[in-house]
Amino acid sequence: MKRTAASRAAPPLLVVLALLTVYVVWGSTYLAIRFALDGYPPLFFPGLRFLLAGSILYLVLRLRGHAAPAWRQWRNAAAIGVLMLNIGNGGVVIAEGSVGSALAATAVATVPLWAAMFAGIWGHWPVRMQWLGMAIGFAGIVVLNLGGDFAASPGAAATLMLASATWAFGTVWSRRLALPAGLMSSACQMLAAGALFIIASALRGESWTVLPNAKAAGAVLYLAVFGSLLAYTAYMYLVQNVTPSLATSYAYANPVVALLLGLSLGGEHIVASGYVAIALVLVGVALIVYYNRAARPVVAAVPEVDA
pLDDT, tens digit (0-9, with 9 covering 90-100), for 210-234 = 778 889 999 999 999 999 999 999 9
User: In the predicted model, is pLDDT for residue 299 greater than 60?
Assistant: no
d(CA 292, CA 276): 25
Contact 90, 43 (CB under 8 A): yes
User: In the predicted model, is pLDDT for residue 170 greater than 50?
Assistant: yes
d(CA 242, CA 237): 9
User: Which of the 8 DSSP states describes residue 228?
Assistant: I
Element (H, E) at 234: helix 231-241
Specify the 3-state DSSP secondary structure of 301: coil
Contact 222, 115 (CB under 8 A): no
Specify the 3-state DSSP secondary structure of 159: helix
Percentage of the residues of the chain whose pLDDT score is greater than 70: 88
pLDDT, tens digit (0-9, with 9 covering 90-100), for 61-116 = 999 999 999 999 999 999 999 999 999 999 888 887 777 666 777 788 889 999 99
